[in-house]
Chain A
């Protein structure tokens, strides 16, 4: 059972907009801690997608955007492409656990 809750799966067709949620609590997302998102293509290492809630590293398309509100965060992917099919993880610091915590991951399928 992960500290951060993500839907196990999500799907969309090419060109669609999909969102993936990440729900936490006052000791992690709801505090002053920023949320980060990673994606993991099959058989590869995770890669940073969004940091500090809504910042994109260089090289990440602006189709990807992040937001945070209260004790939840969201990742939005617009103009869905087949190569977006991957596992997506949110992460943040938890003040109570004194640890980095990850969501359980969301498997995105592009239909």
Chain B
């Protein structure tokens, strides 16, 4: 079955760019939407954005000015870049396959998540 694995630095410096990659195994990236979701320590979930396998992306308006999601179909990977990070961006970042029907989108499966801490 499809599995997702996040990778990238666990530490980012304030004002710099956070970069993460999600590797998809057990299935193709083609045909699906792929999302990033984050969860600050002890708090709830926040959707960051998704990218369609054909390359079009949609971002949470609250983060849109700082977020870029891209994909590399040859490597079965998609990536997240978040610029100008602050302590408020400290969170566990999850990647997830996104299923879309009737104007609705849901996430299944999820990666295990990776904690990114933003330091001063």
Binding site for B on A (CB under 8 A): 2, 32-34, 36, 38, 44-48, 51-52, 57, 89, 91-93, 97-105
Contact = CB atoms under 8 A, between A and B. Distances in A.
Nearest to B94: A45
Contacts of B47: 91, 99-102
B26 interface: no
Interface of B: 35, 44-47, 58, 60-62, 94, 99, 101-113
B46 A102 contact: yes
A47 B109 contact: yes
A48 B105 contact: no
A89 B99 contact: no
B44 A45 contact: no
Interface centre among B60, B106, B113 (most CB of A within 10 A): B106
A107 to B, nearest CB: 11
B104 A92 contact: yes
B102 A99 contact: no
B103 A103 contact: no
Given A45-B111, A46-B110, A51-B99, A93 B60 contact: no
20 contacts: A33-B103, A33-B104, A34-B101, A44-B112, A45-B110, A45-B112, A47-B110, A48-B107, A51-B99, A51-B106, A52-B101, A52-B104, A91-B45, A92-B104, A93-B103, A98-B61, A99-B61, A100-B35, A100-B47, A105-B44
Given A51-B106, A98-B61, 15 more contacts: A33-B104, A34-B101, A34-B104, A36-B106, A44-B112, A45-B110, A45-B111, A46-B110, A47-B108, A52-B101, A92-B104, A97-B61, A99-B47, A104-B44, A105-B44
Contacts of B103: 32-33, 93
